[in-house]
A and B are shown apart, each in its own frame.
Chain A
Amino acid sequence: MISELLINAFLVTIMLSIAIALIKTRTVIFTVILTSAYSLVAALMFITLDAVDVAFTEASVGAGISTILFLAAMAYLPKKEEESIRSEFIPALSCIILGGILIWCSYDLPEIGQLTAPIHQHIAPEYIKGSKEDIGIPNIVTSVLASYRGYDTFGETIVVFTAGVAVLALLEKKNAAKKNKSQPKQKIRKNA
């Protein structure tokens, strides 16, 4: 039992070091690669925490599609990040204070893996019991996703559709602006 938790602690510490490297780096390509590595280690963590469905979704969508999106956007953007003129002291201080409060509160959370934790008492046992008779799929996550909480999935598709429409609208405007960008600006200069 303890070895499982040790592997967990090790992986999560790797994630912390990747995140610290993300703060340090100023090159865009390293940022993208580190984000991808972060998602992959997160997928490993999900496997050790028994969430296999989440693990392969994270590996394919989080580490795959996001990285492709970041790389595609990167091609049109500056390759280096500039140092800010303003001081980063106040944001850092507020993050440290908030993190301290959260860690202080973590003593009230149940330890990892306790069967008596409140989250395991309410509705999950009924899903586990009913999945076989009600829906007949051995994978409980699938039956909850598609049947018991089907409206969530419906809402998700609406969100994804809206995001797709918004992205298309934005990029369309970008192309249109590029085509007649030089014309109006020169006119204004002439008048002035």
Chain B
Amino acid sequence: MISSTIGIWNYWIVFCLMMIGLFLVIGRKNFLKKIVGLTIFQTSVFLLYITFGKIKGGTPPILNESIDTIYSNPLPHVLILTAIVVGVATTALGLSLVLRINSEYGTIEEDDISAQDLVDYHDDIETGKSVDLNFNQ
């Protein structure tokens, strides 16, 4: 019983970590916190993959001389190596988007930004300016 619980304990905690990451992304209104949530989610997915590749009593997949060595599965390791680097690239892109939003609005809170957009929209209507819905200018 105990050993079988430990056998799937990793999965349970990894799923909890995924949900914490998802909550930070959809629940929090601060953009920096959303990106941190993405990072948490990513790392928990990496953990899930690497957990699948583990073999009891195995060694890291580096060849040695003895014949009866059991190697852990190298394929998830390769996939996750690629995913880590891509993850950092997306983090950098997200952070530069946040910086750009901050220089435009002076804040990175979602509530404040939508409030500012609403005020701008009403100002435009009052002054009779043609309303454009893309907020590029």
Contacts and interface: CB of A to CB of B under 8 A. Distances in A.
A50 B7 contact: no
A14 to B, nearest CB: 10
Given A106-B15, A111-B8, A112-B10, A167 B92 contact: yes
A12 B9 contact: yes
Interface of A: 1-2, 4-6, 8-9, 12-13, 15-16, 19-20, 22-23, 28, 31-32, 35, 38-39, 42, 45-46, 49-54, 57-58, 61-62, 65-66, 69-70, 73-74, 76-78, 81-82, 84-86, 88, 91-92, 94-96, 98-99, 102-103, 106-107, 109, 111-115, 117, 119-120, 123-124, 127-128, 131-132, 138-141, 144-145, 149, 152-153, 155-156, 159-160, 163-164, 166-167, 170-171, 173-174, 177-178, 184, 192
A19 to B, nearest CB: 4
B82 A61 contact: no
A80 to B, nearest CB: 9
17 contacts: A5-B6, A13-B13, A15-B13, A42-B43, A45-B50, A50-B61, A62-B88, A70-B95, A73-B99, A107-B8, A113-B56, A138-B63, A140-B63, A156-B86, A163-B93, A171-B99, A173-B100
Nearest to B3: A2
B22 A98 contact: yes
B95 A73 contact: yes
Interface SS of chain A: helix
B86 A160 contact: yes
Interface SS of chain B: helix
A190 B60 CA distance: 70
